[in-house]
């Protein structure tokens, strides 16, 4: 049976975030180096974005490179940056065809200049698309994001642009990298690990968390459907009781 038929298209999550984990283990299992795993993960990215767009998800955010990933061996980091450049160039026609808006969050100033230029060029060329927003979290760390938000809010208070009493959740939301995105409804992490690894900590306050043993390079449309079906079988209460939700 086609798993898509099990999905209620009126109740799909607006925003799906994915921690793409398992590239290294996938490559090791085939007797190859980690870079081989990263290179073979692009099909999973493409299928996830296309499937999300097909069922009506409006935003998908991929944890592509964390602030902690800079600690990895230089050879692997350099390969990841080259892969970012090559994949963005290669996928641009597909982004345009499928109406994908490319966005980025994180400290992109720390990326190599060539990677920055390619990223910003793709962002510019896709800004008028309308189907789905693909956000790449690059040199991203949620704690750093929150610290930066607090600093910027504090500056406004010191400069009397903002009263202390006016600060609320919306104030913080508006100073995060994701200010123009809906809150995360569903977070998917592959490879069997069950943690969120400094990813969208504020934005995932009420997200449903879905963990799968599938390694990221093997993640396909059917696995994305599995996550959506599981999400739709959960009761999202947001602090209320089941009876209140029913009413």
Ligand-binding site membership of 237 (annotated): no
Q: Is residue 240 part of a domain?
A: no
Confirm or deny that 21 is annotated as ligand binding: yes
How many CB atoms sit inside 10 A of residue 175's CB? 18
Residue at 126 is within a domain: yes
pLDDT of residue 242: 58
Q: Helices 221-232 and 42-55 meet at what angle, rounded to 10?
A: 50
Q: What is the pLDDT of residue 106?
A: 97
What is the CATH classification number for the domain harbouring 133? 3.40.1180.10
The answer on whether 24 is annotated among ligand-binding residues is: yes
Q: Which domain holds residue 112?
A: 12-232
- Tell me the pTM: 0.93
Instruction: Tell me if 16 is assigned to some domain.
Output: yes
Q: Is 247 annotated as a binding residue?
A: no
Our count of domains for the chain comes to: 1
pLDDT at 239: 58
pLDDT of residue 101: 98
The answer to whether residue 41 sits within a structural domain is yes
The residues annotated with a catalytic role in the active site are 21, 69
Residue 59: predicted pLDDT: 98
Amino acid 2: pLDDT: 87
pLDDT at 4: 87
Domain membership of residue 247 (yes or no) is no
Residue 241 is assigned to a structural domain of this protein: no
Q: Does residue 17 lie in a domain region? A: yes
Check the annotation: does 197 bind a ligand. Answer: yes
Ranges of the chain with pLDDT below 70: 1, 236-247
Q: What is the pLDDT of residue 240?
A: 54
Say what the pLDDT of residue 235 is. 79
């Amino acid at each position: 049976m086609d798993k898509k038929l099990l999905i209620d298209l009126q109740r799909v999550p607006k925003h799906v975030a994915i921690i793409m984990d398992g590239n290294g283990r996938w490559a090791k299992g085939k007797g190859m180096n980690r870079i081989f795993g990263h290179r073979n993960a692009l099909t999973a990215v493409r299928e996830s974005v296309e499937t999300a767009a097909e069922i009506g998800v409006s935003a998908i955010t991929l944890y592509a490179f964390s602030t902690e990933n800079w600690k990895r061996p230089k050879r692997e980091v350099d390969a990841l940056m080259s892969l970012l450049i090559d994949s963005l160039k290669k996928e641009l026609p597909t982004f345009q065809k499928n109406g994908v808006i490319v966005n980025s969050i994180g400290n992109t100033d720390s990326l190599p200049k060539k990677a920055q230029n390619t990223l910003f060029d793709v962002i510019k060329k896709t800004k008028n698309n309308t189907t789905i927003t693909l956000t790449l979290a690059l040199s991203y760390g949620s704690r750093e994001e929150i610290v930066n938000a607090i600093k910027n809010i504090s500056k406004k208070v010191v400069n009397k642009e903002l009263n202390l009493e006016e600060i609320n959740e919306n104030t913080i939301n508006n100073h995060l990298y994701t200010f123009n995105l809906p809150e995360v409804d569903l977070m998917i992490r592959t490879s069997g690990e069950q943690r969120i690894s400094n990813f969208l900590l504020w934005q995932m306050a009420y997200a449903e968390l879905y963990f799968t043993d599938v390694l990221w390079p093997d993640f396909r449309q059917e696995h994305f459907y599995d996550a959506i079906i599981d999400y739709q079988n959960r009761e999202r209460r947001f602090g209320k009781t089941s009876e209140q939700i029913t009413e």
